[in-house]
Amino acid sequence: MLLIQKIVNPLGNSSRYLRWNSVCLAVGTSTRKLHLSRPNESVFGEDAKNALRNFGDIKHTPIPALTYGIGGLIPFTAIPVYMLSSGVYIPEMAFTSMAYSAVILSFIGGVRWGSAVSNPEIMNPNWKNFTSSIAPSIVGWMSLLVSNPIGTLLSISGFSLCLLQDMTSSQFPSWYKSLRILLSTVAICALLTTFMCQFLLPLEPKKE
């Protein structure tokens, strides 16, 4: 009898050990599944980093798009350059900068609208994409309804959000993201300079 107990006890302990291991394995597997089922919070940031790392793809930009894009920066840069060179802040020119910003923001939104309409297999024509395509024009319109410096800040916010959205989008080619980084960065810097001119430069004397 004692011999039988000696034989059975190790088996019982082994059974409990195996059951305990099974429970631990099940819990571990469930935990890994729960971890994998959580959305990857770093994907958004990784897409933006990849767009910056691949900035060299701008060399693949079609010449007409690159030419018109760089040419479109002239109104942005000319206004703050003129005010800095003249040494005075000109409210009318600052408003012209906001008006031009509203036009370009509408153009950027139109790119997304056109992609959703002409390439539904690439950009899903859903509420999200169509809403994001009209949002820039609304921001541009709102910037014209308020006075400076709020209007300029709204324009800067619109360009920044559109740039971040395009950088993290999988619907656009890499060269387009690189072009957007270049153009939007210059435009934002020009708008910031115009914004600072209001505080650093004297107001242009009114002509009688």
Prediction pTM value: 0.76
Residues 102 and 170 in one domain: yes
**pLDDT band (50, 70, 90) for residue 18:** very low
Do 34 and 51 fall into the same domain?
A: no
Give the confidence band of 171 by pLDDT, cuts at 50, 70, 90: confident
Domain count along the chain = 2
DSSP string of 5-19, one letter each residue: HHHHHHHHHHHHHHH
Residues 188, 92, single domain; the answer is yes
- What is the pLDDT at residue 24? 47
DSSP 3-state assignment of 208?
coil
pLDDT of residue 208: 59
Residue 133 shares a structural domain with residue 55: yes
Check pLDDT > 80 for residue 25: no
Domain span at residue 157 reads: 43-200
Q: What is the mean pLDDT of the chain?
A: 82
Token pair for 60: 């693949």
Give residue 43's pLDDT.
58
Same domain, 67 and 110: yes
Asked if residue 208 is part of any domain, the answer here is no
Give DSSP secondary structure letters for 54-67: TGGGGGGS-HHHHH
Q: Are residues 136 and 92 in the same domain?
A: yes
Q: What is the pLDDT of residues 63-91, one digit of tens each?
A: 999 999 999 999 999 999 999 999 999 99
Whether 163 and 133 map to the same domain: the answer is: yes
Same domain, yes or no, for 107 and 164?
Answer: yes
pLDDT(197) > 70: yes
Q: Are residues 174 and 92 in the same domain?
A: yes
Contact (Cβ atoms closer than 8 angstroms) between residue 148 and residue 91: yes
- Could you tell me if residue 206 is inside a domain? no
Tell whether 63 and 26 lie within a shared domain. no
**Across 120-124, average pLDDT:** 79
Residue 34 pLDDT grade (very low, low, confident, very high; cuts 50, 70, 90): very low
